[in-house]
A and B are shown apart, each in its own frame.
Chain A
């Protein structure tokens, strides 16, 4: 690795290699029905229960474009600050497979619905722009299940025909960390837009990863290998790391890199050749004669623009400018739409600074510990807001607040009630505090004398004693003031 922490380089002997990565992300369009049929798309349904005659490619069946999916793709394009193509064409990508009933996948080859765009990544050493080459709509295939029977393969067509967006990046990524940031950012944007749920476990988001290496400073790209269908960010990072090192080893060994398609074996943590360039399919793309070119008007696009919510980059900017959050805090709070919604709900009626600290600190730690998402938070935004107000108006101290918070994590009870029921209200009555302090001084005469003779460090001892005696409820600020006077 290089000394510059942000630069990911592979060192071999005297050579330093840079890794060049481009991603083809397949994002399932959030839609009730499929791209060219009315079948449902619900995840986890019984096999072959969401299959129409069109999806199963019965004779004489014809595809009908789902307008909603078109809107979703355009919205995503807008979110990627990309050029929306008013005319796009669906092509047939021809190949045989048991889970591809038509014998072709309807995709967009030459004329995609979305053209060039960009995604901004927040990396530790600053922002990085990643170019988007294109986004196109296509059908998903079904699923072949090989492990249910020793002799037979089963086919589930529930996914056959489900709408996917293939989002192709430019070869702008340079490290596994950037890939991580890119996928997360893409996912975040699509979740803000509601165009893809980004659920990688359910296969809603997966990627083909193109990797090549070149000597640092070289302007030429090396020969790339495509690692097919990787379905988690972790695996993507592992695959890239393995593949980049494999390629460097080959070059160092004086060998050529074959342009090929590879598979990532997650168990062995290695990539393996799947097919070489010579064996590559000839997909015989041609415009699907069952579908007319897809044409959308300026009005259609403008209407969709008006439906676009505030996206993470803009939200971050607003949080920083309006709420004076640090970029770090803003990044965390806008990273996904649910967190930012939660945050904005909390600060509707409470202090921004405190809310930021409590959400990023206590709440995230507590959720993390319980392995919960923000949407599953036991503490509602409303109640967290109340807790923050109790701190702000001095009803409870920050320390007491943590006790209340723990209680709230159990049952989302109104913090006011917890404070009342448990008698946790902060003692801010000067007379009561004076009595308390007098007693503490009285009980520790010797230490008071020492203090007066110059051992000022003992002040902390007295504060601690007062807090202890009060059961933590004494208003620390007042305690300080009164103690100073009395000592």
Chain B
């Protein structure tokens, strides 16, 4: 069967279950395409030989009752994978091979999927362009000079370029939704507590959440159904009734109330984003949804709040990378010297910047003014959503304030880089689910995404809205395999 890599996850599952395709054929096709796509730099660590072996083994005794039977898949390099190097995009974990498996990836392998390799990402998921990775930047398959977004840039690039039928990313302030938006793919950030954080290299514990990234909403729903489980190994994992999202997926969203928050009309927002949003509203109406204007008054404070809370937690979470136990170590004259050299050489500039910000805002004398205040504002932001959800079932916004930018364009301007997360961070601060779906192109032909934000634990609802709108939007990605020589 030709064009295996062009098939969606759902098609591949169907074909393998129907014995029209073997796992080996599918794995071979994605491995070959991945091998031809090195220029994208989507992978940090390739595990192709093992993947092909596992596919062969699967074919010898195929269990076709599984949800992801013999499906090859690469995952963001923030998920610890047993016996396969896990770097978090950092020099400091350059040589780190876990002896354990993250719960999310274990859930995936339990359903029959096969690991192909680890995908590039911003260092410790800190970035919006994948340019902070120690392993180099990733190219957006849309255009050679474009960033794929971040931090799950390797993941978005790999899915868009069809190097993997589907993947998982992590989203702390937009790291799934923004790259999905930049590459014309679908990305879901689930409710905080939906997917276990066990075995995921931590960035900001109260915000981090793993989620699926896919070519379409149905695939996204299927993967979400696999990865979301209650896990006793994560104290913040929440035991709630999880749907079989793909089975319960419906395009019938008639009468759903969708809120349009006026505060998301930010100053300097390009007209094409405004237009996209208007188009999105029309699509939602076409699907039978009711549009309601709402207010999320504290939206303006979300970004500053995020850039206090996230670095604060990160500064503490990254303290364990000290050269003592594992990972990179620089020799020093004494313990302090070793710490300083290890961390100066082992962490990149953006990570160091955030550690410093985080250390500062937690310092005695500044804690109340920054960290404590940020926590209070965070509560207000959450209250905004709670109030809004008394009137609406979901909220529609643009995913990002612009389309993908050029590699190098914002590397010297961290604040302009941070502004990229303006529409996504409130969702993390409030612990809500949000999905980005491709909804159109800007004048340059680059994809643009719309974000649908749901109530906590209401992934099914936003998946349904996304599913219905996806059909109306009928988005086509313009990818021409320019990197394949």
Contact = CB atoms under 8 A, between A and B. Distances in A.
Interface of A: 53, 56-65, 92, 94, 96-98, 101-104, 153, 155, 282, 284-286, 289-292
A155 B206 CA distance: 31
A64 B98 CA distance: 20
B202 interface: yes
Contacts of B363: 282, 284
A58 B321 CA distance: 9
Given A65-B235, A286-B362, A103 B319 contact: yes
A104 B201 contact: no
21 contacts: A53-B99, A58-B100, A59-B88, A59-B96, A59-B201, A59-B202, A60-B197, A60-B201, A62-B234, A92-B316, A96-B319, A96-B322, A97-B335, A101-B324, A103-B319, A155-B324, A284-B315, A286-B312, A286-B316, A289-B205, A290-B235
Contact of B235 (A58, A64, A104): A64
B352 to A, nearest CB: 15
A57 B88 CA distance: 16
B319 to A, nearest CB: 2
Given A60-B80, A104-B316, 5 more contacts: A94-B362, A101-B320, A102-B320, A285-B367, A292-B236
B335 A98 contact: yes
A96 to B, nearest CB: 6
Contacts of B239: none
Contacts of A290: 202, 205, 235-236
Contacts of A98: 322, 324, 335
Nearest to A103: B319
Contacts of A101: 320, 324-325
Interface string B192-207: 0000011111101110
A62 B80 CA distance: 13
A286 B371 contact: yes
Contacts of B320: 57, 59, 101-103
Contacts of A94: 315-316, 319, 362
A64 B359 contact: no
Contact of A60 (B202, B335, B362): B202
A60 B364 contact: no
Contact of A64 (B88, B99, B233, B312): B233
Size bin of chain B's contact surface: 35 or more
A94 B234 CA distance: 21
A291 B371 CA distance: 18
Interface string B168-203: 000000000000000000000000000001111110
A49 B324 CA distance: 18
Given A53-B100, A290-B235, A59 B80 contact: yes
B203 to A, nearest CB: 11
Contacts of A59: 80, 86, 88, 93, 96, 98, 201-202, 320
Which 4 pairs, one residue from A and one from B, show the smallest C-beta to C-beta distance? A103-B319, A289-B205, A284-B362, A289-B206
Contacts of B100: 53, 58, 60
Nearest to A63: B235
Nearest to B198: A62
A387 B319 CA distance: 65
Chain B binding surface, main DSSP class? loop
A62 B102 contact: no
Given A290-B205, A291-B235, A284 B359 contact: yes
Interface string B294-322: 00000000000000000011011011101
Nearest to B312: A286
B367 A286 contact: yes
B339 interface: yes
A102 B317 CA distance: 8
B271 to A, nearest CB: 39
Contacts of B233: 62, 64
A58 B88 CA distance: 13
B482 interface: no
Nearest to A65: B235
B387 interface: no
Contacts of B200: 60
Contacts of A292: 235-236
B383 to A, nearest CB: 19
B483 interface: no
A64 B316 CA distance: 18
A96 B339 contact: yes
B293 interface: no
A286 B317 CA distance: 12
With most chain B CB atoms within 10 A of its CB, the pick from A94, A98, A102, A286 is A286
Contacts of B345: none
A92 B362 CA distance: 11
Nearest to B99: A53
B80 A104 contact: no
A140 B382 CA distance: 36
A94 B205 CA distance: 16
With most chain B CB atoms within 10 A of its CB, the pick from A64, A65, A98, A284 is A284
A62 B202 CA distance: 9
B232 interface: yes
Contacts of B93: 59
A458 B234 CA distance: 88
Interface in B5-58: none
Contacts of B236: 289-292
Nearest to B100: A53
A284 B365 CA distance: 10
Contacts of A282: 363-364
Contacts of A284: 315-316, 359, 362-364, 367
Contacts of A102: 319-320
Contacts of A65: 235
Contacts of B80: 59-60
Contacts of B318: 103
B462 to A, nearest CB: 25
Contacts of A104: 316, 319
A292 to B, nearest CB: 6
B325 A56 contact: yes
A285 B320 CA distance: 16
Nearest to B96: A59
Contacts of B319: 94, 96, 102-104
A356 to B, nearest CB: 52
B364 A57 contact: no
Interface in B357-371: 359, 362-364, 367, 371
A128 to B, nearest CB: 36
With most chain A CB atoms within 10 A of its CB, the pick from B235, B313, B362 is B235
Contact of A58 (B98, B315, B335, B364): B98
Contacts of B313: 289
With most chain A CB atoms within 10 A of its CB, the pick from B204, B313, B363 is B313
Contact of B326 (A58, A64, A153, A286): A58
A98 B315 CA distance: 17
B370 to A, nearest CB: 11
Nearest to A94: B316
A384 B325 CA distance: 56
A158 to B, nearest CB: 15
Contacts of A286: 312, 316, 362, 367, 371
